[in-house]
Amino acid sequence: MPFEERSIMSHREEFCRLATAPGANVRELCRRFGICPTSGYKWIERWRAEGREGLSDRSRRPLTSPGRSSAAIEERVLAVRRAHPSWGGRKIRRVLQRAGLAEAPSASTATAILRRHGLLDGPRAGEARDYRRFESAAANDLWQMDFKGHVATAAGRLHPLTVLDDRSRYSLLLACGDEREATVRARLTEAFRRYGLPWRMLADNGSPWGSAGGEPTRFAVWLMDLDVALIHGRPYHPQTQGKEERFHRTLKGEVLDGRTFRSLEEAETAFAAWREVYNSRRPHEALGLDVPASCYEASRRAMPETILPPDYEPQAAVRTVGSGGQISFKNRRVRCPQAFVGKRVALRATDKDGVFDLCYRRHVLTQVDLRQNITQPVHHVPEHPSTLTPV
């Protein structure tokens, strides 16, 4: 979309961050953001020369003043805390350092200032917690997604759909009016067109991405058509999506608590403004107090405007799934997941005689063992988060 007037600075800044990443395709990003290449290169040049200030027409003012007293430094700490009531001493110190404050207080000093003014969250604030994490190797290797429940608005329910890049924690937050498949697909299509395609997406087992029987849903098939694998966390084990759960807590504390939106559009505007803070200003402790934008770059896999049918190799046995969810193979009736009705699937021989992989595109759905008296397809074999790099 073209730059919107209400958020022109954040749109320009996001474009420049993505366009200046190593290997970025500037003209492709210009197309995604709906701007001409001449304008795109102009903003990149100003961004490189002047940073964020170069993207506005307002006069620039220095971020620091030499020789400020300790009382002034304390006021700077309190000002950051007032703007972001849930941020602690480490985040505030990093923000002041990025602002160019030469005498930025240590994290413990900033925490002491907050404590003196009664601004800590309680005795457990900042306390370390024992947990285990995993992390993907690069940006866009894995996106996590989930709904943050629902929020009452003056116009009905709001369903925040949160999408988080696993490596950089870069946020793609979308407001939805419901949790239906068509709504989710439409909002994700917007994200794919702007940021490109990830290789995998991690979700729980709820609607619309999960199913009670563990079989792929129509939503999963749509992602497979885009060459994106959908993987699921263990049922009743939200810790698998710990980054999403922690993100939801931050979203609740910094955006949703004590606030009622009048409409979906108002919520979308508020989310967009907060995303700009979360991605490019809020220090993230898991990133060594860098911001997510410093670790993220747009995917080089563009969202295709047309999805082509699968093209299987000549040695594969190709079948079209009938209306009953079955195919015929070597005089056997093989059951396929219902979501693939009307789709062309392939049976590929494995290294075991009489055992075939039932595949859709590059994704293995089940195995068919013709050595048994009755065909016994094994359970769906998804990729699993345990294959990710532990940290």
Residue-wise pLDDT for 183-237, tens only, equals: 889 999 999 999 999 999 888 877 777 764 667 889 999 999 999 988 886 655 5
Between CA 100 and CA 183 the distance in angstroms is: 43
Between CA 28 and CA 21 the distance in angstroms is: 13
Domain ranges of the chain: 5-55, 72-127, 134-282, 317-385
* Helix, coil or strand: residue 231: strand
Q: Read off the pLDDT of residues 15-39 as tens digits, 9 standing for 90 and up.
A: 998 999 988 999 999 999 888 999 8
Which pLDDT score, from 0 to 100, does residue 121 have?
54
Which pLDDT score, from 0 to 100, does residue 315 have?
92
| CATH of 134-282 given 3.40.640.10, 3.30.420.10, 3.40.50.300, 3.40.50.720 | 3.30.420.10
Residue 102 pLDDT > 80: no
- Give 342: exposed, middle or buried? Use CB within 10 Å, 0-12, 13-18, 19+: exposed
**Which strand (E) or helix (H) includes residue 89?**
helix 89-98
Q: Which of 78-92, 130-144, 266-280, 368-382 has the lowest mean pLDDT?
A: 368-382
Q: Identify the residue with better confidence: 106 or 310.
A: 310
Mean local confidence (pLDDT), 78-103: 79
| pLDDT band with cut points at 50, 70 and 90 for residue 69 | very low
Between CA 271 and CA 278 the distance in angstroms is: 10
Which pLDDT score, from 0 to 100, does residue 288 have?
82
CA dihedral 16, 160, 166, 43 (to 10 degrees): 0
Which pLDDT score, from 0 to 100, does residue 176 have?
80
Phi, psi angle pair for 66, to nearest 5°: -65, 145
Residue 98 pLDDT > 90: no
Residue 130 pLDDT > 70: no
Share of the chain above pLDDT 70, in %: 82
Residue 275 pLDDT > 60: yes
Contact 103, 110 (CB under 8 A): no
Mean local confidence (pLDDT), 66-93: 73
Contact 99, 64 (CB under 8 A): yes
